[in-house]
Amino acid sequence: MAPRILLARHGQTAWSKLGKHTGRTDVPLLDEGRRGAKLLGERLAGEPWNALPGVEVRTSPLSRASESCDLAGFGGRAEPWDLLMEWDYGDYEGMTPAEIQAVRPGWLIWRDGVPGGESVADIAARADEVVAWARSAERDVLVFAHGHILRTLAARWLGFEASFGARIRLEPTSLSVLGWAYGAPALERWNDTGHLEA
């Protein structure tokens, strides 16, 4: 079996609901986010996942991701990993895209990075380390993390520049699967929130 990487974005927070860039600020989950994480766990416990026996689990150490992991039922199997932390938004932490555009017209994080934070090359390098780990053995992996780092992971898994992440949106508490097709890295499932519609 070729290894796959399952991506779980953390549940909804007050800042994610408002569209604020939430990098290293440890914003807690809303009740809605906790409910979504539990529903994701119920989904992964059933067919065809069957609680993912043998999967290796890692989580961002930030509470919105680690609590989502716990609520989904994987906390006891998870190892926190700093590489899965969200993009360091530096001077733009807590700002919405509109607020940033007001001070820096034309800004695009996927091209420009952020002052006082990480460049696109920085987050791509972190994502590359996670991809290398995911492909290092014949077992699936499950990661609980954040929107921008997970979008970067997908881009790098597929062999694209990190900027491809701009084209693949990711909702809170979504499930995505990166795998293989015809021997090449492939997108098996993306931004699946079917468990939230129950």
Question: pLDDT of 98-125, one tens digit each?
Answer: 999 999 999 999 999 999 999 999 999 9
Annotated catalytic, 21?
no
Structure token digits, residue 156: 């790098």
pTM of the model: 0.96
Indicate if the pLDDT at residue 144 is higher than 60: yes
Can you point out the beta strands (E) in 72-183?
A: 78-80, 141-145, 175-181
Question: pLDDT of 63-80, one tens digit each?
Answer: 999 999 999 999 999 999
**Nearest alpha-carbon partner for 65 in 87, 109, 33:** 33
Mean pLDDT of 42-57: 96
Annotated catalytic, 10?
yes
Lowest mean pLDDT among 2-6, 12-16, 22-26, 77-81: 2-6
Can you point out the beta strands (E) in 33-90?
A: 56-59, 78-80
Q: Which of 56, 86, 93, 118 is catalytic?
A: 86
Quick one: 5-197 is in which CATH superfamily? Answer: Phosphoglycerate mutase-like (3.40.50.1240)
Q: Which of 10, 21, 148, 195 is catalytic?
A: 10
Model confidence band, residue 2 (pLDDT cutoffs 50, 70, 90): confident
Number of other CB atoms surrounding residue 79 within 10 Å? 9
The residues spanned by each domain of the chain are: 5-197
b/e string for 45-74 if b means 16 or more Cβ within 10 A?
A: eeeebeebeebbbbbbebebbbbbbbbbbb
